[in-house]
Structure 1
Amino acid sequence: MTQPTFESVLSGEGLSELRAAVQRNCDIADAQHAGNYSLCTYLLKMREFYRWERRLPFSAALNHQEVGDWVSRREQGWEQLEGLSPGALPLGAARHDPFDQDAVNRRLDPHGLVYGAGYGRGARPLFFLGALLRREDFDGYRVYVVGEETARDLAAPPAMSRGDLIFVRRESVRRLLFETVEAWQMRGAPADDPLARALRAYGYDAAEPETLERMTDSEVESAVWHEVGEVLAGQRLGPGWQQRVLEVAGSRGEVVARAVRDHLADCLTTLPALLDDGTDGAIHFYFANLTGMRALLFPQLRAAYDRWVDGAPLAVLKAQVGPAREHWLAVARRLLDEAPNTWPVEDDQLEALQPDLRVRT
């Protein structure tokens, strides 16, 4: 896929100032939230952030002293920004609220650029500015697929949705794939787990960068389907859901709530799309990422996947989707109706949230 670079589309008075303002807001968000990561996660993210800022390929060896000096300078910069709120974005004579992405994107459309703003886990502000790869309008929602980014924060999630807008960030999808494979190799690269199956199905070869690009293109589509599911889930749950998540931000209740909504979104669109398409690589990669709270809440889905791997027809997985969709919608509505301090959030309580499904052979 040929991607437009940011520099190739950066034209028009005020866009350089916009880029600086967006990056400053990203830095303000990082100043407030970068310390929430564990030390190991923080160092890995900073290493990746350094690579992004320097535009270094994944294959490039990093100089530890240079990275360490860069981290120190970045942290000193954050200290100067602590306590500040994200500032207005300049576009010509106008100043836009940093969360008014609709107004900003109307101005950026002629330049082939896209701006995103929202909130992530723990009510963390998220911002980015990048080159638009494509825009698709569907029934009631719009999808932006973003290429090269010129401003971003430390978090940089691969996809995000807000209202009826969906953003899928190709750079972050590609980075996630590389880091997932890298971590898997450091664990010993098991020969027969979901990720090993996904890499074989995709024909991935670390010595051939184009195989990572092909895998990225496929997983961008999976990310699009998940975010479409997020929009549809939001329509079913209403605006009260986001308020409820903000009430439990930073707690295990937030982790549970987000996992429930993820399952609802996946049962609405992601799993039907993956299973109808029948692409083995994408299906295996989905289950390679079915971890953490999502795995704890839906062990029946993994059991169905294992049956399929052992030779059962794909129908064994498809049979889970419809009943699970209704189940997760009911669970999400239950969480909306109940006080968060009554939610089952401990490991020994989570079975109460699992669907009562049987894996058919």
Structure 2
Amino acid sequence: MLNLGQLVNTVQKNCHISDARHAGDFTLCIFLLKMREFYRWEHDIPFAHNLPKDEVGEWLQEREGMWSDLESSSFESLPLDGRTLDPFDAETVNRELIPQGYVYSGGYGRFSKPHFFLGTLLKKEQRAGYTVYISSCEYARDLEAPPAMLQGKTIYVRQESVRRFLWEKIEEWRWNRKNETMERALACYAFEIDMNSALERMTENETEAMILHELGEGLAGEKLGPDWQKMLATFSRSKAEIMVRAVRDILADCLSTLPRLLASNNAASLHFYFANFTGMRKHLYPEALEAYRHWATAGDRQALSVMVESGQRRWLETAHAIMSLYRENGEQASTAIENLLEPEPESPLSCPPKAASTP
């Protein structure tokens, strides 16, 4: 029989090892925010309750000390059915766990950070040739808990992490209410009347949006081929990695997420999507925000539809151009890719020499 406690402890230790190696990937502000919510998860504190500052500070110091001890440790094999399994062999692990009502994932995210989680299986679906596992309660997780991930032909959606991700975004907005787009998204759920019910409705809605994005990632992967992942590994921890990840994210959303949200007239998810259209995606594709603003202010969806349709062609062509540069130049392609996506500004014309003054 499954020794759940032993399995949970092993998965959580692997999560701690991953965090020990990658905690420095975050800016200080993001790191502290994620640590606060990690503390909330570990101590099962409701979202509406304030966190005890002194206790959080002590816990943070203890956690950093534990990371220091674990940073050089190797990931441990998972104990299952009298044998040990590779923590990255999620398919084999899940053949044991799924019939017992649990789901596990072990894979790589941004900056090649390993992510592990173990949770209760809520439902299993088949969507467009992909298996979708949706989990509820999480027993083990790392600091950065991706709400959804694609691994091969399998999509993992973690509703507890979806809920926590949404709460973090709501908290960010409450601290600085300048994001009018987020205000529009939250207004669709009436948080001021019943916060818990509103959060559950938003979680269900955004779970579907995340599935659509991962399906788009799958479509993009089919069009780009396996060399794309090899390229990401080559450019790990570089500006080029951030840029090419943003290109694929935009392509995935133009192929799947945005067309389906528009077709279903899901205004709440559209507002939330563009409230979080930030960073490199915003930098590379400001036209998307312009089309959104036209829809949000004038109620005309045509600009959004045109943006999505043209974006499918534009970003697929861009992704193919990136792959061509990588195949031609290998590890040396990063600068060329950065220049492709963000050309260097032209040098200003030099001023002509002044005419010599006459005596």
TM over 0.5: yes
Residue 35 of structure 1 and its aligned partner are, at CA, apart by: 2.1
Equivalent position amino acid for 1:263 in 2: I
Residue in 2 aligned with 1:313? 300
Structure 2 distance, partners of 1:70, 1:106, is 36
Equivalent position amino acid for 1:313 in 2: D
Q: Is the 8 A contact 2:90 2:105 kept in 1?
A: yes
Q: Is the 8 A contact 2:132 2:156 kept in 1?
A: yes
Residue 92 of structure 1 and its aligned partner are, at CA, apart by: 2.1
Runs of 4+ in 1 over 3 A off after TM superposition: 345-348
Report whether the alignment pairs 1:149 with 2:143. no
Residue in 1 aligned with 2:312? 325
Report whether the alignment pairs 1:122 with 2:116. no
Q: Is the 8 A contact 1:15 1:91 kept in 2?
A: no
Q: Is the 8 A contact 2:103 2:119 kept in 1?
A: yes
Structure 2 distance, partners of 1:342, 1:134, is 44
Q: Please, which moves more after superposition, 20-29 or 331-340?
A: 331-340
Equivalent position amino acid for 2:265 in 1: G
Structure 2 distance, partners of 1:206, 1:212, is 11
Residue 310 of structure 1 and its aligned partner are, at CA, apart by: 2.3
Equivalent position amino acid for 2:343 in 1: Q
User: Runs of 5+ in structure 1 lacking a partner?
Assistant: 1-11, 352-361
Equivalent position amino acid for 1:127 in 2: F
Q: Per the alignment, in what secondary structure is the counterpart of residue 262 of structure 1?
A: helix
Q: Is the 8 A contact 2:284 2:341 kept in 1?
A: no
Structure 2 distance, partners of 1:185, 1:222, is 23
Q: Is the 8 A contact 1:252 1:345 kept in 2?
A: no
Residue 283 of structure 1 and its aligned partner are, at CA, apart by: 1.0
Equivalent position amino acid for 2:11 in 1: V
Aligned mate of 1:226, from 184, 204, 213: 213
Equivalent position amino acid for 2:257 in 1: T
Q: Is the 8 A contact 1:256 1:345 kept in 2?
A: no
Q: Per the alignment, in what secondary structure is the counterpart of residue 55 of structure 1?
A: coil
Aligned mate of 1:266, from 253, 263, 271: 253
Structure 1 distance, partners of 2:23, 2:109, is 13
Q: Please, which moves more after superposition, 316-325 or 200-209?
A: 200-209
With structure 2 as the length reference, what TM-score do the two structures score? 0.90
Structure 2 distance, partners of 1:130, 1:315, is 41
Distance 1:345 1:194, change over 3 A: farther
Distance 1:78 1:38, change over 3 A: same
Residue in 2 aligned with 1:8? none
Report whether the alignment pairs 1:288 with 2:275. yes
Aligned mate of 1:27, from 2, 13, 16: 16
How many residue pairs match? The answer is 338
- CA-atom RMSD, angstroms? 1.7
Q: Is the 8 A contact 2:219 2:255 kept in 1?
A: yes
Structure 1 distance, partners of 2:141, 2:134, is 15
Distance 1:154 1:346, change over 3 A: farther
Residue 313 of structure 1 and its aligned partner are, at CA, apart by: 2.4
- Identity among equivalent positions (%) equals 45
Structure 2 distance, partners of 1:319, 1:238, is 27
Residue correspondence of structure 1 range 152-231 to structure 2 within 5 A = 152-187=141-176, 189-190=177-178, 193-205=180-192, 208-231=195-218
Residue in 2 aligned with 1:336? 323
Structure 2 distance, partners of 1:227, 1:102, is 18
Residue in 1 aligned with 2:7? 18
Q: Per the alignment, in what secondary structure is the counterpart of residue 202 of structure 1?
A: coil
With structure 1 as the length reference, what TM-score do the two structures score? 0.90
Structure 1 distance, partners of 2:278, 2:240, is 17
Structure 2 distance, partners of 1:346, 1:64, is 46
Residue in 1 aligned with 2:33? 44
Residue 86 of structure 1 and its aligned partner are, at CA, apart by: 1.1
User: Runs of 5+ in structure 2 lacking a partner?
Assistant: 326-332, 346-359
Distance 1:200 1:13, change over 3 A: closer
